[in-house]
Structure 1
Amino acid sequence: MTDVVPLVGEPLALDLVNTRTAAGDLLATPEQLRAWARLQAGRLPDVAPDDLDAVRDVRAHTAAALKRVRHGERPDERDLAALNDAQRAAPAISEVTWDGTGVRVERRRAAPGLAAWLAEAAAELLADPAVTKVRQCEADDCVLLFLPAHPRRRWCSAARCGNRVRVARHYRKTHGIDQARID
């Protein structure tokens, strides 16, 4: 089954990593990057998703670091350095404004770029103690990651992989197929 629409709703860095599925790369073209950015509306600032190579580079380094960190291992320094470099390309500033009753501080990027925002999201996820709870979907043909809100969650999506696993299990049961023979 090819997933045409990327899975969204996980932490932003996981949504980015999950654009690389078992079915292929969902960010293979600039058009796909723009479509993914639209799906993330409200979670991303108003930046032009124009640097596909930079975003894919952030995704690769995020995935590599996440693979190690979620298992309690030290990430490769090259992955951390690449994520830091992506953030440095658009430095964050605390912009001070007056809202009519008091001073507000909003974090903004000077010369925003999508890769910098995504690298920042990756840094936040990698530093979050919850990163060790990130799991891979238990469906045989799925590589997507998720951060379970419930400890019994087993699939990236109950509607996608969960239903497929349940239907396959029901089929095996009703047709007398011995799971031991399949494995």
Structure 2
Amino acid sequence: MSDPLTLRFASTIRARRSGLTDALATPEGLTTWVRDQDLSPYLDTSTFTADEPVREQTVDLRQAVRALFAQAVAPTPPSTADAAALPPFPDALALVNATAAPLSRQLEWRDTWQERVDPTVEGDGARLGAALANAAIDFFAGPLPAQVRVCPAPRCVLYFIKRHPRQEWCSVACGNRARAARHYQQHR
């Protein structure tokens, strides 16, 4: 099962052996990430090319979304990746709502159900922000936030959706790393 767009967006910060990596660290990185996503009907990702101002706005939005994830897992501590750099929750919520506002969504029927999106803003950057903010609104207004957890594995900085009652980590690799660290501590 593929993760929701909002979780993939928040997961553009990852931990590697060398430290944190940010898929959105450069305009080229943002362009690559966006082209790998399905953002229709908001944005044609095949023609999207980011510049530095769009990258900065997108990173600010990602930090706001990560603040919403931090709120979703409270009172559990948030991800260690950027907990100190997250905006306050009210500011994060306001940014997500303001970024989502320029789109009008309507449901239509033409032999099948279809969503029609009327962007009231120009520019791919604004449409990208609106698409990501609307995805966050859909995600956090649904049932999944109750299942969001912070991965407790050493060095992992990801949030994940607990899909099974016994699931403790975001991935098998993190589970193995956590068990190895626990074994090392016990036999030290």
TM-score (norm 1): 0.72
- Cα gap change, 1:103 to 1:14, in 2 (>3 Å): closer
Pick one of 139, 145, 149 that aligns with 2:163: 149
- Cα gap change, 1:52 to 1:180, in 2 (>3 Å): same
Q: CA offset at residue 124 of structure 1?
A: 1.6
| Aligned partners of 1:9 and 1:15 also within 8 Å | no
Pick one of 5, 25, 44 that aligns with 2:39: 44
Output the CA distance in 1 between the equivalents of 2:113 and 2:153.
46
Moved >6 Å (runs of 4+): none
- Cα gap change, 1:180 to 1:34, in 2 (>3 Å): same
Output the CA distance in 1 between the equivalents of 2:145 and 2:49.
26
**Considering only CA atoms, is the larger Rg found in Structure 1 or Structure 2?**
1
Corresponding residue for 2:60? 57
The percent of aligned pairs where both chains have the same amino acid is 34
Corresponding residue for 1:80? 93
Pick one of 6, 11, 20 that aligns with 2:4: 11
TM-score (norm 2): 0.71
Range moving further from structure 2, 47-56 or 20-29? 47-56
Pick one of 116, 120, 131 that aligns with 1:107: 116
The RMSD of aligned alpha carbons is 2.9
Superposed CA offset, 1:109-137 (max 9, x none): 41561111111111122222330210111
Tell me, which stretches of 5 or more residues in structure 1 are unaligned?
1-7
The secondary structure found in structure 1 opposite 2:96 is: helix
Pick one of 28, 31, 38 that aligns with 1:31: 28
Superposed CA offset, 1:126-175 (max 9, x none): 222330210111211101011121121222222x3234345x369x5xxx
Q: CA offset at residue 34 of structure 1?
A: 1.8
The secondary structure found in structure 2 opposite 1:35 is: helix
| Aligned partners of 1:133 and 1:148 also within 8 Å | yes
| Aligned partners of 1:136 and 1:144 also within 8 Å | yes
